[in-house]
Structure 1
Amino acid sequence: MSEHPSKEIVGTYGKELHGKKIVLCISASVAAYKAVDLSRLLMRHGADVHTVMSKSSKILLTPDLMKWATGNEVVDELTWKLEHIQLADYGKSDLIIYYPCTGNTLSKIANGIDDTPVTSIASVALGSKIPIMIAPAMHEAMYDNPVLKENIEKLKGLVEFIEPNITEGKAKVADPEFVLNKVLAKFQHNSKLREKNVLITAGATIEYIDPIRVVTNPASGKLGAAIAEEALRLDANVTVIYGQGSAVIPNVKVIRVKTSDEMMDAVVNELKSKNYDIAIMTAAVSDYKPVSPSSGKIDTKGNEQITVTLQTTSKIIDQVKKINTNTFLIAFKADYNVSNEQLVQAAYAKMKECHADFIVANDVGREGSQMGSDTLEVFMISKDKRIIHLPLQNKRDVARRLFEEVLIYF
């Protein structure tokens, strides 16, 4: 029989997990549905994913759905075939992930209780020394239970915990993308970005005309989000200063701002408080702001026409090298309907002006590269005048290529 069609996605996002066999253990949390997305993400990066489910989890997620998601048979009961040995004995798999992991399953693992397919996998894997990741999911009060905390402490050093997101009275399981990045980092021990501090600005800023009217631009923050995700995948410590935008930022430290002045303050504070190895300034900061914004709403009655006088905003990027000359500075230059030669020349001039080490230039007037799009055509230019042209492609791919080029200098 030919390969299951679901496996056609294997390696479509990258080959980092090629040849890796990952066992995905699902326990009975309402977050079990997220295991579908995680399995597919792992596969898209090259992994072969095998699912093991507890009996109770099948009430929330069907084995057939996981068979479809992974293209592999699902283990939901142990038989004479010794499925737990086949998957978790010495050298049988490369990684075991418990996603999501209930407090019940976690405590059973910590105390050597072996009464479900998922706990049997742990019993074998802890002996065979296959790496284990556990992503807890439960109510916050359960997560704060001192007995559970004791069980977590008992397992530390034996397994790697992926901390939940504490919100709305819940300890919600980490997002699939965050878990993916943890997995990728585990298998990329030679990452040049490991433990380096990376500061990213993203999105647009707004400048108030009055309390409810603003001057802004349609930047989405999607490129900044893609770069943050890639930096996280490479195991960097990432901070994002995020203005306005539609992009979802991955599980990193995010500082929200609105105006260019707020972004300036946030950037300066971060650069002074921490030694950042790389600063990536993707934000579309407003070039102008009203000289005298109104403190109250401007009434349209009697004001059919108004005059708003604008002044230039301060250049945030100029502060980076003033604060830390050792920070590797990556600038961005957006232009509109210019030739390739003009775009590169303008970008190189900006790079010298702000003392950047690398710059990415794009023309937002070109089809597919407009602000807010998912794709981008760019020119990457280094201080030593290397010019790399990337034709129109997904912003995620642009982010990957950016780090490939930049890490040459590390």
Structure 2
Amino acid sequence: MVVKKKDHPSLDIVSSKGVELSGKKIVLCVAGSVAAYKAIELARLLMRHGADVKCVASNAVTKLIQPDYFKWATGNEVITKLTGELEHIKLADYKQSDLVIVYPATANTLGKLANGIDDTPVSTVLTVGFGSKIPILMCLAMHESMYDNLAVKKNIKFLKNKIQFLSPQMVEGKAKAPEPEDVLDVVLRKFGFTSILKNKKVLMTAGPTLEYIDPVRVITNLSSGKTGVLLASELISAGSKVTIVYGPGNEKPPKGAKIINVKTSKEMFDATKNELKKKFDVVIMAAAASDYTPENVSKSKIKSDKKSLIIRLKKAPKIIDLVRKFQKDALLVGFKAESNISKSALIKSAQKRLKDVGANIMIANDIGTKYQKNPDYNQILIIDNKKIVSSGLKKKEKIVKLIRKEIEKKLK
């Protein structure tokens, strides 16, 4: 009697999200970085879209993550050393695999590939893959000072047109590994599967505005512009052509976008109105523009010896009210912020705004006391005419991915 070998239970997830990578053999090289734990998520994402994933782990990684964890994740044996089985040849010789991903990629791994050093399983697999011209996708992760090192820059420059790099996220003085979802997007595009957002023209507002009381004093909103900037980055990575009308936020706007810098709500209103005369596929109103502005602005600094001061404010025009006058068919995404109210009240407020401005999607959140404790996290409601989707409490990097997915669904 012949007993058929049972497939590994982890393979049950293969193609559960799509078949775009069906039949593709992907080698996942995991170098010695604390970001290595994210490689598990990446492997599972690739599998869910049909890929067969085999991991090669460096010695440094095995001190952080047990090899059995990678075997559990992929259903395949993990390469941690090279033997007489010639694992590096089986994985990376001519036409043995379709893609090699280095995630995370350290400065050490980068340097070894650039200089032909192959003294570890990861570096040897890369040397073979480089020679056999298997596409290599390198996702760098290191401290910012290492990323700025001239030797590292030299190695990147040498490899730039020979392999593909996925830029790290510059956060907290570190060049952090890209999110697994971002790597998946790149891989899908590499094999010909593009986002519906590719080449779509997107207009965004983001950041706060400043309303001058006198030449040195202002009224403003507590907004860093982070959500808008992160969302713009998401859309750019999906191939969109993004224009941002950007108030004085703390976040650096993404490369690849057309940036129109403004300060006041009037400047933002005028700049947006001017841009709306062009044709856009998607318009996103993510700015925290001031609702009120001083009636009279003092031309000189107001003396500080006054015991009290009365400042009269007037209503500033709502920028989102402009959109449908110029863009009848664009997908309109609005943002509705409230503070310290119930969920039902927040929903009611967002639904009213959705209807009043003719938006397709309204992003609602409570920016009250809980939000202010840790503004790197958010909890949003994505509301349209048919449903309400709650994100749960997540980092803003995850929040913008949810918003992007809802936009993609609407465009389809």
Give the TM-score band, short-chain normalised: 0.5 to 0.7
Aligned to 2:264: 259
Written as runs of structure 1 = structure 2, the 5 A alignment for 1:165-204 is 172=175, 175-176=178-179, 179=183, 181-186=185-190, 189-204=193-208
Greater displacement, 178-187 / 76-85 = 178-187
**Does 2:390 correspond to 1:392?**
yes
Aligned to 1:403: 407
Aligned to 2:334: 332
User: How big is the shift at 1:133?
Assistant: 0.9
Select the residue among 303, 312, 315 that pairs with 2:315: 312
Select the residue among 73, 77, 82 that pairs with 1:78: 82
Q: What secondary structure is seen at the aligned counterpart in 1 of 2:122?
A: helix
Residue 224 of structure 1 contacts residue 282 of structure 1 at CA under 8 Å; is this kept in 2? yes
Cα distance between partner residues in 1 of 2:115 and 2:29:
18
Q: What secondary structure is seen at the aligned counterpart in 2 of 1:198?
A: strand
Residues 342-386 of structure 1: CA deviation (Å, up to 9, x unaligned): 8545532322xxxx6x34264859999999672223431xxxxxx
Written as runs of structure 1 = structure 2, the 5 A alignment for 1:204-219 is 204-209=208-213, 214-218=218-222
Q: What amino acid is aligned across from residue 285 of structure 2 in structure 1? A: M
Cα distance between partner residues in 1 of 2:321 and 2:402:
24
Q: What secondary structure is seen at the aligned counterpart in 1 of 2:65?
A: helix
Residue 244 of structure 2 contacts residue 257 of structure 2 at CA under 8 Å; is this kept in 1? yes
Aligned to 1:360: 362
Q: What amino acid is aligned across from residue 265 of structure 2 in structure 1? A: S
Distance 1:45 1:326, change over 3 A: farther
Gaps of 5+ in 2: 1-6, 339-343, 393-398
Distance 1:225 1:103, change over 3 A: closer
**Does 2:350 correspond to 1:350?**
no
**Does 2:99 correspond to 1:95?**
yes
Residues 237-270 of structure 1: CA deviation (Å, up to 9, x unaligned): 4454454778898776485655324534664676
Aligned to 1:40: 41
Distance 1:26 1:85, change over 3 A: same
Q: What amino acid is aligned across from residue 312 of structure 1 in structure 2? A: K
Cα distance between partner residues in 1 of 2:26 and 2:212:
51
Cα distance between partner residues in 2 of 1:66 and 1:104:
21
**Does 2:158 correspond to 1:160?**
no
Q: What secondary structure is seen at the aligned counterpart in 2 of 1:65?
A: coil
Q: What amino acid is aligned across from residue 389 of structure 1 in structure 2? A: K
Residues 66-114 of structure 1: CA deviation (Å, up to 9, x unaligned): 6487456653431123322443357765531234556775576467665
Residue 320 of structure 2 contacts residue 357 of structure 2 at CA under 8 Å; is this kept in 1? no
Cα distance between partner residues in 2 of 1:309 and 1:267:
26
- Scaled by the length of structure 2, the TM-score of the pair is 0.66
Q: What amino acid is aligned across from residue 133 of structure 1 in structure 2? A: L
User: How big is the shift at 1:399?
Assistant: 1.0
Residue 231 of structure 1 contacts residue 238 of structure 1 at CA under 8 Å; is this kept in 2? yes
Aligned to 1:234: 238
Cα distance between partner residues in 1 of 2:403 and 2:196:
16
Residue 38 of structure 1 contacts residue 180 of structure 1 at CA under 8 Å; is this kept in 2? no
Distance 1:82 1:312, change over 3 A: same
Cα distance between partner residues in 1 of 2:121 and 2:282:
45
Residue 14 of structure 1 contacts residue 45 of structure 1 at CA under 8 Å; is this kept in 2? no
Cα distance between partner residues in 2 of 1:368 and 1:332:
22
Aligned to 2:150: 141
Q: What secondary structure is seen at the aligned counterpart in 1 of 2:290?
A: coil
- Scaled by the length of structure 1, the TM-score of the pair is 0.66
Q: What amino acid is aligned across from residue 286 of structure 1 in structure 2? A: S
Residue 346 of structure 2 contacts residue 364 of structure 2 at CA under 8 Å; is this kept in 1? no
Residues 118-139 of structure 1: CA deviation (Å, up to 9, x unaligned): 3332344357664321346744
Distance 1:148 1:403, change over 3 A: closer
Q: What secondary structure is seen at the aligned counterpart in 1 of 2:150?
A: helix
Aligned to 2:396: none
**Does 2:293 correspond to 1:289?**
yes
Residue 42 of structure 1 contacts residue 180 of structure 1 at CA under 8 Å; is this kept in 2? no
Residue 379 of structure 2 contacts residue 391 of structure 2 at CA under 8 Å; is this kept in 1? yes
Greater displacement, 159-168 / 184-193 = 159-168
Q: What amino acid is aligned across from residue 259 of structure 1 in structure 2? A: T
Residue 36 of structure 1 contacts residue 66 of structure 1 at CA under 8 Å; is this kept in 2? no
Q: What secondary structure is seen at the aligned counterpart in 1 of 2:126?
A: helix
Cα distance between partner residues in 1 of 2:296 and 2:91:
68
Residue 378 of structure 1 contacts residue 390 of structure 1 at CA under 8 Å; is this kept in 2? yes
Residue 225 of structure 2 contacts residue 250 of structure 2 at CA under 8 Å; is this kept in 1? yes
